[in-house]
Structure 1
Amino acid sequence: MPFQFTIKNNKNTALFLGIVAALFFASTFVLNRVMAVSGGSWQWTASLRFIWMLPILFVIVFIRGNLAPLFDAIKSNLPQWLLWSTIGFGVFYATLTFGASFGPSWLVASTFEFTIIAGMFIGPLLEKKENRSGISKASLLFSIIIFLGIVLMQISEARASSIKSMLLGTIPVLIGAIAYPLGNRKMMQIAGNKLDTFQRTLGMTLCSMPFWILLSIFGYMDSGLPTESQLLQTFMVAIFSGVIATLLFFTATDLVRTDHKALAAIEATQAMEVIFTLLGEIILLQAAFPNSYSCVGIALVVIGMILHSRAN
């Protein structure tokens, strides 16, 4: 009984942390849209977040006295760290930021919820064949509900914008939605139980830095140096989303790292980003409220997330 209680308690704690993380993650979508509307370079918007994160996380891990084990872990498997950190942080966030230039933040946040479906399929595929577990019919059904909600919102948005804009705002975000759980889960496998959440986040930030430096060079060639407002806003994103939300989310996934159904439920909590983002855009950008079709789509995404969590 005590063991069963601990497992249940871990799942409940992880779900709560996932929802709080969604609140802080929502700041990414809103502030990225603010910077896109004001003409900020998407390359700088993406790279500056992680450039800001690096010294902040370095200080945290240094104070905790955990730098040496992290550097040893990276050195022992540097190619894998570079690859999956670039995918999990680099590809994920660059595509997300690019998509913010072509659609409202709530639509980008809604499309990104495809990560729930991606995570459900990626988890078993990363396991050895003899350890793979099947995908439950309930989880598949709830994921289809979420996907239908995303499609409905995209159809609604397509009526108000060009096909080109819709594709440029959708396809990159879908790529990011796959890259994030893929990179995160692979790094959990590589790091194992040797590193804590702070160390793993710092390690992934450090190992994705070559990608961010290259992207910032393109940003400088495209639009020069970032503006003061962009520096401030990316710093806010780095604190709220890059540090607080990421650490909360990684802590949640670490609590249930061996339970793929529970992992899917934690990833499903990120559907709350849609609600938080919508409210943020209406308050900060005085954006118009979504039409009835989009509202139905948002409702389907959130209902799918809730069903995922209850089932798992």
Structure 2
Amino acid sequence: MFRYRGHQIRWWEAGAGEPLLLIHGFPSGSWDWHYLWDALAKRYRVIALDMIGFAFSEKPRGYPYDLIDQADLQQALMAHLQIADYHVLAHDYGDSVAQELLARHEGGAGFLRSMCFLNGGLFPETHHPVLLQKLLMSPIGSLIGRLYNRERMARTFGNIFGPQTQPDEHELDAFWRMIEFNQGPRIMYLLIRYMADRRVHRDRWVAAMQATRLPLRVIDGAVDPVSGAHMVERYRQLIPDPDTVLLPHIGHYPQVEAPELVLEHYLAFREQRVDQPAETTTPA
């Protein structure tokens, strides 16, 4: 645990070597990375936290949740650990936090080594929210959160996972444990404000992605209805020399649905684009 703005934040660390920060998505937490954790920790110093309002960190009712603050939180942990620069692997909501970190890096702070995105709303114009997200954003959002339960969660997750890689009961139990801990559903209507934040910061974040010399890769589950192949198509239109990997038949949670493939393509990214000396790095 460490304290951030007076609140307890849960975080994990394993391994040694270059620091790799894992940033989870909505509405879950760092458990999302558990299938990759040991393999990554054999190669890197792996760090992950449950963002404020998520999983096993505190979930204050009156907190002004936004993506800028969540990026501040990530940097606060890295400062706490005295880590000056690091790599990032992010998913979903975490992609937006990572985009904010990238914009800060491009603004002159210069603390990132590489960035890899899994399925997420990198561009608001290609993000297709599920019904739950739309309802949480509505005037009855607080009521929807209070009525949210494991059955509704299972239906939503079933719709965004690939048809051949549906979550099993153990995985659904784990997702629900993160969400329901400390009455999490009661603040989901506050967390969902991130969709509006994305629109506010969209141009600045995309400009940073277009300008950066930092190695970037997208590894994306193609059949995700929220941010699947259609998001990657937009990425290829907007980002110079795009480095993208589409995973056929995989949905919104590739690190849970196909962890071996995510690991394979992430390690290839590190070997080919990041970890080689600059003069021998393979072009994207």
Query: Which structure has more strand as a fraction of its residues?
Result: 2
Which one has the largest radius of gyration? 1
Q: TM-score, normalised by structure 2?
A: 0.27
Q: Which has the higher contact order (CA 8 A, sep 6+)?
A: 1
Q: TM-score, normalised by structure 1?
A: 0.25
Query: Which structure has more helix as a fraction of its residues?
Result: 1
